[in-house]
């Protein structure tokens, strides 16, 4: 019994093979582009909320050391102002291209002064177990404005902060330091400082003190600019 065999030429097999490979390659390229696009979207979405910074300098010792890496939460102050004890990153008022890391000490309406190795808030000594050493300088009393904070480095005697250049306008804030991720041996959330009453409560509506503001209270506002580099210039 004879049979009928359909012959396929080499040309026909090659064309089908190339067509299948072309479809597969096109599908793989589309999937790769989708992955790249999704990655970029996630990257920019995350960067709009959290930034990473490298601490340089010794101004925040012993809390932060030179070379450590931290995450900064950019939306921390959308719904409420900074609280005393918060560690923040902000644009340096005399040079907004730089960023500094300091601790919030004085809140709007409060009078802040430094003398006899002690920080005073409205005449009350501020307990600060986190500092490297007591300040050896004197800072005249200054009244913190409605949209300002008074910031100091934990390494008081080696820090470029409000005692030297004045009050910080809140429009210079980048965000709150919430997590240290390097070195691994010190990785973890940043603990919030606690204070005894009445220093533990926000003071946004306090009446200004009768004391005369020092020259640091005359700091003008400066515009904030987008963060361009994840590098923290810590001081001193």
Active site residue 233: no
**Considering Cα of 179, then 182, then 188, then 194, what sign does the dihedral take?**
negative
> Choosing from 48, 58, 97, 102, which is the catalytic residue?
102
Q: Which residue has the tokens 């049979």?
A: 3
Active site residue 102: yes
> Choosing from 59, 113, 159, 162, which is the catalytic residue?
59
**How crowded is residue 78: how many other Cβ atoms within 10 Å of its Cβ?**
6
The answer to whether the beta carbons of residues 75 and 154 sit under 8 Å apart is no
Q: CB neighbours of 72 closer than 8 A, spacing ≥ 6?
A: 50, 51, 52, 53, 89, 174, 175, 176, 177, 178
Active centre residues (catalytic)? 59, 102
């Amino acid at each position: 019994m004879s049979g009928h065999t359909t012959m396929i030429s080499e040309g026909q097999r090659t064309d089908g093979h190339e067509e299948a490979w072309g479809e597969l390659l096109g599908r793989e390229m589309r999937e790769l582009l989708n992955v790249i696009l999704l990655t970029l979207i996630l990257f920019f979405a995350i960067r709009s909320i959290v930034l990473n910074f490298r601490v340089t300098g010794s101004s925040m010792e012993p809390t932060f050391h030179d070379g450590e890496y931290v995450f900064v939460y950019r939306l921390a102050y959308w719904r409420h102002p900074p609280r005393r004890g918060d560690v923040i990153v902000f644009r340096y008022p005399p040079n907004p291209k730089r960023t500094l890391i300091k601790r919030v000490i004085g809140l709007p309406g409060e009078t802040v002064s430094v003398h006899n190795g002690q920080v005073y808030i409205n005449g009350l000594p501020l307990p600060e177990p986190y500092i490297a050493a007591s300040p050896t300088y004197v800072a005249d009393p200054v009244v913190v404005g409605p949209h300002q904070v008074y910031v100091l480095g934990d390494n008081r005697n080696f820090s470029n902060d409000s005692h030297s250049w004045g009050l910080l306008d809140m429009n210079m804030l980048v965000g709150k330091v919430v997590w240290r991720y390097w070195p691994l041996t010190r990785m973890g959330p940043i603990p919030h400082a606690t204070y005894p009453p009445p220093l533990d409560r926000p003071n946004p509506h306090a009446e200004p003190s009768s004391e005369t503001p020092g020259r640091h209270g005359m700091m003008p506002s400066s515009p904030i600019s987008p963060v361009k580099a994840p590098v923290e210039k810590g001081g001193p």
